[in-house]
Amino acid sequence: MTRLNHIVRFLASNWKLTAGLTILLALILFGALGPVLISEEQLQLGAGGFTKPPTADHPLGTDTSGRDMLALMVYGTPVTLKIGLIAGLVATLAGVFLGIASGYLGGWFDELVRSAADVMMTIPAIAVLVVISSFTRDMSIELMGSIIALFAWPYTTRAIRAQTLSMREHGFVRMAKISGQSDLEVILKELMPNLLPYIAAGFVSAVSSGVLASVTLQLLGLGPLSKPSVALVLNLAFNYAALLRELWWMWMPPTVILIILFIGLFLTSMGMDEIANPRLKGARAK
Amino acid sequence: MGLSVGYVIRRIAMFLVVIWVAATINFIIPRLVPGDPIQTMLAHMAQTERIENAAAITQELRATYGLDAPIQEQYARYILNSFRFDFGLSLNQFPTKVGDLVLRAMPWTIGLLATTTLLSFGLGTLMGALLVWRGTPRWAQVMLTPFTFFAAVPYFLLAVVFLYLFAYVWKILPTGGVATAGAKAEWTLAYVGDVLQHFILPAAAMALAGLGNWMLGIRGMMVTTIGADYLNLAYAKGLTDRRIFFRYALRNAMLPQVTSLVIALGHIVSGAILIEVIFTLPGIGNLLYRSIGFLDYPMIQGITFVLVVSVAFSVLLLDLFYPRLDPRITYTRK
Amino acid sequence: MNTDAVLRINNLHVHYQTPQGAVKAVDEVNLFVGRGERFGFVGESGCGKTTTALAILQMIQYPGKIVAGEILLEGKNLVELNAEEMRRTRWREVSLIPQGAMSSLNPVMRIKDQIADAILTHEGRSARTGLNQRIEDLLVTVGLQRPVAQMFPHELSGGMKQRVCVAMAIALKPKLIIADEPTSALDVVVQRIVTQTLIEVQERIGASLILIGHDMGLQAQIVHRLAIMYGGHLVEMATVKKIFQAPQHPYTQVLIGSVPSPKTKKSPFALPGLPPALLNPPPGCVFHPRCAKALEMCRTQVPPLHEIQAAHFVACHLYR
């Protein structure tokens, strides 16, 4: 009970995190519960007549291939989320491992990781992603997430390395070392718990940039084509000049869902930053 | 003090390495696909487009990629051609050179995006700094805060919303393109005005989305700088608030922002592909988009190479000029 | 000296507003600083000495606030000045040598530009002629070489930076210089040299000096008069000679007793208990919980500052 109280009070004190997580949770539920209400058959080509405005049968109308728009949203939202999550997870794992190792060990390993990260950061991810995905016409969701992570790990690694470096000099880490704990023990028992807020913040921003990269690629018509994702539907709307032809139901639902998704990610990320860096909270000098 | 010769050479070498890596990736990826790369390309193309001059294209591609030569020679030639920006002929607009098409599209992209990037950087940095400055009136802070939320929404979604509202619902701005259809491209006031009018919406979407990010970036740095001892002494010196803000606080808080600005300028081409697609502007982004649609591989590779080079070049310039901004960096040793 | 006071502080109260209540950082402080006098401020950290100095410059930051009192600089009440008037007063009439000289210079500005900033702001464009010469002369005055003007802070050692701060502080020949532990970050040898320089230039321009510090030994060599602060209160004020020969307040007695000397080998600090919590200070005299001579009335009544001999002020019930 007190624990619950604690959580409630914490969430109330950080409205950005609360709002962001609520939005993301709502989108996940939308994708998880939707299939119960709408059968996958609605995704079949020509299932409900071509390019029809909303009716009782198809509350959001149908697209040019006759697929139900609501079904596309319900089945497409988790696809977009999943790519971002995979990218975020891979990038965070790599960042934690490489960041702690290079920050804690230093030496040639640190030099190597830093140089690699520097080079990776100067290569525009989208350029390489475009080349890779234009040759691999139909990649899996997992592959796409991993490829995006390839360009996200330098950012998580750098953030965690910087924190590890500053913590390494702190008294409590030195104490632990002097008192005879092994490096692994120091890392797991002393560093990790203190790094957690930064890792969590890094994870959220890695997911955000993963979602952004995957959405951008899909809007260009690249990436997994066999699964309908929200961004791919919007790409289709671009191709059919849905705005010009006043087919509002074709572009508006994916746009709205993507805007909601990005706002949710943004607020969560801002809320996490306030935890990791309390000085930012309500930042304003008096 | 200043730059050592060794440092400059190292930086230029690094720049060349990045370009070499990019060219190598361009060389390897088509060859990782099983089977004859040209047959694969044509097969991919055939899925999307009807190919009329397949025989000519096949021959041209073989020549471009030098596929009949041994692999080392293929590689050497490809790298050499890459450094000369020679990517062969476009498949979609056969037989125009890739380089020519890129050059033709470049001014539009740079004209629109460099302007909006600089604009949103300047405004965003100033607004974000004022957001946490103690001399800023309360009402101004309240007015500035909502702009940070533009950082949440990617520019392309903002663009779709703007396009819908301003061009379709309220019909006060053109829906796309760089000029009214049929207008003659010449240096007259009317034409330039027409072009500018077409640029308002894409520029607004790009600038606003960037603005929020710049504001958040400088805000974090400014909070740190405001607590610095040298700011306290500046107050004690009785300097005007304005001078402390610009010369002492903003000047120092801005240093990391400048790095981001240069990187952002390098990324303008790749970062704004979709804006050109949404507003049908004839820039690099749209060229890439159409090339992807047609699977015009030489074009895709040529454009992505340009993207890599522009970022690498910006970073090189940054590294060479940054010591002028931050005297603490001397680069005698890295 | 009484009649010719450059600075006079009457009934100064500075409070920090916190959610738990007001923290009384400076409580009922009265003092004066004579013309050309070197005046020392001593006490533990958190005793209110730096806050008092910041109050003179009107640089108390939110949530701190001067809630009562006057600060008269040559008869002008600084507390009543508006922001613009105060800005013009700073540096021109009161300058500061900051505590953290290592980080008090703007890292991206040349030394000469930072000194020029202060001069041009207060003297206007007319000061431009011969400005470079004037800045270099200032640097020479504090024992630096002329090329230092062209340098950036990171190219200087800690002692050099502190000298730059001293040069900057005398640039406008102010009436009062406040030096907030100016040498605490330096090693002992450099400390001594910088202090010597400070005294020389202060005497040359005839300014008064307030030296804030916790090192009684250092203060004894420099200042004419000392004020001892404890828990936001000024507990004793007299000439250095009197303070060292006949300290009156029990806290001062402990402080004097703690100055190490080779003759008497004793434990350096013999004060039981902790410094007072200013959020919830003990009633009566703030020092009574740690005072060996506390009387019954010390628990209930705040002792006022009282002139027990000529120019010797003590706030203690023992001397009423």
Give the structural domain span for B125: 106-295
Would the pLDDT of C125 be above 50? yes
Question: Nearest residue of C to residue A286 by CA position?
Answer: C62
Provide the mean pLDDT of chain B: 83
So what's the pLDDT on residue C2? 47
CA distances from A251 to A220, A222, A243, A248, B104 (A): 15, 18, 7, 6, 31
**What's the rounded Cα separation, in Å, for the pair A224 and A141?**
6
Residue B119 to chain A, least CA–CA distance (Å): 22
Would the pLDDT of B293 be above 80? no
**What's the rounded Cα separation, in Å, for the pair C52 and C50?**
5
**What's the rounded Cα separation, in Å, for the pair A140 and A82?**
11
Contacts of B18 in chain A (CB under 8 A): 119, 122-123
Amino acid identity, position B222: M
From the CA atom positions of chain C, what is the Rg in Å? 20
For tokens 């979407």, what's the residue? B205
Question: Nearest residue of C to residue A285 by CA position?
Answer: C62
Tell me the backbone φ, ψ of residue B219, rounded to 5 degrees: -60, -45
Question: Nearest residue of A to residue B28 by CA position?
Answer: A132
So what's the pLDDT on residue B53? 66
Q: What is the pLDDT of residues B156-183, one digit of tens each?
A: 999 999 999 998 888 888 888 778 777 7
Could you tell me the CATH number of the domain that includes residue A82? Answer: 1.10.3720.10
Amino acid identity, position A49: G
Contacts of B141 in chain A (CB under 8 A): 284
Residue C168: Cβ within 10 Å count: 29
Please name which of C67, C58, C83, C84 lies closest in space to residue C29, comparing C-alpha atoms. Answer: C67
- Provide the b/e sequence for C283-298 (b: ≥16 CB within 10 Å): ebbbbbbbbeebbeeb
- B237 closest CB neighbour out of C90, C107, C154: C90
Residue B193 to chain A, least CA–CA distance (Å): 24
Q: Which residues pair with C227 in a beta bridge?
A: C41, C237
Give the structural domain span for C226: 5-260+300-319
CB contact under 8 A, A131 and B304: yes
Residue C197 to chain A, least CA–CA distance (Å): 36
- Residue A150, SS3 per DSSP: coil
Q: Is C62 on the interface with A (CB under 8 A)?
A: yes
Q: Is C59 on the interface with B (CB under 8 A)?
A: yes
Residue B252 to chain C, least CA–CA distance (Å): 7
Residue B249 to chain A, least CA–CA distance (Å): 12
Could you tell me the CATH number of the domain that includes residue B254? Answer: 1.10.3720.10
So what's the pLDDT on residue A183? 82
CA distances from A38 to A42, A257, B193, B331 (A): 7, 18, 51, 62
Domain count, chain B: 1
A276 assigned to some structural domain: yes
**What's the rounded Cα separation, in Å, for the pair C204 and C138?**
12
Choose between C157 and A282: higher pLDDT: C157
A12 assigned to some structural domain: no
- Lowest average pLDDT, out of A272-281, B14-23, C156-165, goes to A272-281
CB contact under 8 A, A137 and B293: no
> How crowded is the C-beta side of A260, counted as CA atoms within 13 Å?
20
Burial class (CB in 10 A: 0-12, 13-18, 19+), B199: buried
Q: Is B44 on the interface with A (CB under 8 A)?
A: yes
Would the pLDDT of C317 be above 80? yes
- CB of B121 closer than 8 Å to CB of B113: no
B55 assigned to some structural domain: no
Residue A165 to chain C, least CA–CA distance (Å): 22
- Provide the b/e sequence for C61-98 (b: ≥16 CB within 10 Å): eeebebeebebbbeeeebbebeeeebbebbbbbbbbbb
Domain count, chain C: 1
- Kindly list the partner chains of chain C, i.e. chains with 3 or more CB atom pairs below 8 Å: A, B
- B44 closest CB neighbour out of A137, A219, A251: A137
B285 assigned to some structural domain: yes
Torsion C95-C101-C106-C110 (CA) sign: positive
Residue B312 to chain A, least CA–CA distance (Å): 6
CB contact under 8 A, B237 and C107: no
DSSP H helical ranges for A57-122: 69-105, 107-122
Token pair of B320 as six digits: 């060479």
**What's the rounded Cα separation, in Å, for the pair C99 and C96?**
9
- Residue B33, SS3 per DSSP: coil
Chain centre distance of CA B321: 20
C79 assigned to some structural domain: yes
CB contact under 8 A, C168 and B243: no
Residue B191: Cβ within 10 Å count: 15
- B236 closest CB neighbour out of C91, C100, C106: C91
Token pair of A268 as six digits: 């969560």
What residues contact A210, with CB distance under 8 A and at least 6 apart?
Answer: A83, A84, A85, A86, A87, A88, A91, A145, A148, A149, A152
**What's the rounded Cα separation, in Å, for the pair A153 and A94?**
6
- CB of B299 closer than 8 Å to CB of B136: no
Residue A285 to chain C, least CA–CA distance (Å): 9
Q: What is the mean pLDDT of residues B86-112?
A: 83
Would the pLDDT of B123 be above 50? yes
Question: Nearest residue of B to residue A277 by CA position?
Answer: B220
Q: What is the mean pLDDT of residues B128-134?
A: 91
> How crowded is the C-beta side of B184, counted as CA atoms within 13 Å?
4
DSSP state letters, C160-172: HHHHHHHHHHHTT
- CB of A101 closer than 8 Å to CB of A191: no
For B64: left if phi > 0, alpha if psi spans -120 to 50, otherwise beta; the answer is alpha
**What's the rounded Cα separation, in Å, for the pair C66 and B147?**
36
- B328 closest CB neighbour out of C98, C104, C107: C107
Please name which of A21, A278, A283, A13 lies closest in space to residue B148, comparing C-alpha atoms. Answer: A283
Give the structural domain span for A206: 64-285
- B238 closest CB neighbour out of C98, C104, C122: C122
Q: Is A123 on the interface with B (CB under 8 A)?
A: yes
C312 assigned to some structural domain: yes
> What DSSP character marks residue C152?
-
- In which element (H, E) is residue C17 found? strand C5-18
CB contact under 8 A, B223 and A267: no
Q: Is C100 on the interface with B (CB under 8 A)?
A: yes
**What's the rounded Cα separation, in Å, for the pair B116 and A173?**
47
Domain count, chain A: 1
Question: Nearest residue of A to residue C61 by CA position?
Answer: A286
B88 assigned to some structural domain: no
Please name which of C5, C234, A132, A218 lies closest in space to residue B154, comparing C-alpha atoms. Answer: A218
Q: Is B98 on the interface with A (CB under 8 A)?
A: no
Amino acid identity, position B218: I
CB contact under 8 A, C121 and B243: yes
Residue C42 to chain B, least CA–CA distance (Å): 22
Amino acid identity, position C201: V
Contacts of C158 in chain B (CB under 8 A): none
- CB of A140 closer than 8 Å to CB of A224: yes
Token pair of C251 as six digits: 């806290």
So what's the pLDDT on residue B333? 39
CB contact under 8 A, A280 and B33: no
Amino acid identity, position C92: R
Each residue's pLDDT expressed in tens, for chain A with a length of 286 residues:
577 787 777 777 888 899 999 999 999 999 888 888 777 777 777 666 777 777 777 777 787 777 888 888 888 898 888 989 999 999 999 999 999 999 888 888 988 898 888 778 777 777 777 777 777 766 788 888 888 898 889 989 988 888 888 887 777 777 887 787 888 888 888 888 888 888 988 899 899 989 998 898 888 888 777 778 888 889 888 888 888 888 888 889 999 999 999 999 999 988 888 887 776 655 433 3
SS (H, E, C) B86-125: CCCECCCCCCCEHHHHHHHHHHHHHHHHHHHHHHHHHHHH
C197 assigned to some structural domain: yes
Would the pLDDT of C254 be above 80? yes
Q: Is B77 on the interface with A (CB under 8 A)?
A: no
First-to-last C-alpha distance (Å) of chain C: 25
Token pair of C293 as six digits: 């001579």
Residue C252 to chain A, least CA–CA distance (Å): 35
Would the pLDDT of C14 be above 70? yes
Question: Nearest residue of A to residue B226 by CA position?
Answer: A285
Laid out side by side, the sheet with C306-309 consists of C94-97, C176-180, C208-213, C38-42, C225-230, C233-239, C312-314, C306-309
Most distant pair of Cα atoms in chain A: their distance: 74
Contacts of B300 in chain A (CB under 8 A): 130-131, 134
Q: What is the mean pLDDT of residues C298-302?
A: 88
Q: What is the pLDDT of residues B23-49, one digit of tens each?
A: 888 888 777 766 666 676 667 666 655
Q: Is C19 on the interface with A (CB under 8 A)?
A: no
Q: Is C79 on the interface with B (CB under 8 A)?
A: no
A256 assigned to some structural domain: yes
Q: Which residues pair with C178 in a beta bridge?
A: C96, C210
B47 assigned to some structural domain: no
Contacts of A286 in chain C (CB under 8 A): 61-63
Please name which of C131, C136, C311 lies closest in space to residue C225, comparing C-alpha atoms. Answer: C311
Chain A residues at the C interface, defined by Cβ less than 8 Å, are 286
CB contact under 8 A, C90 and B236: yes
**What's the rounded Cα separation, in Å, for the pair C210 and A69?**
77
Token pair of A210 as six digits: 């993963």
Measured CA angle at C305 (ends C301, C308), to 5 deg: 115
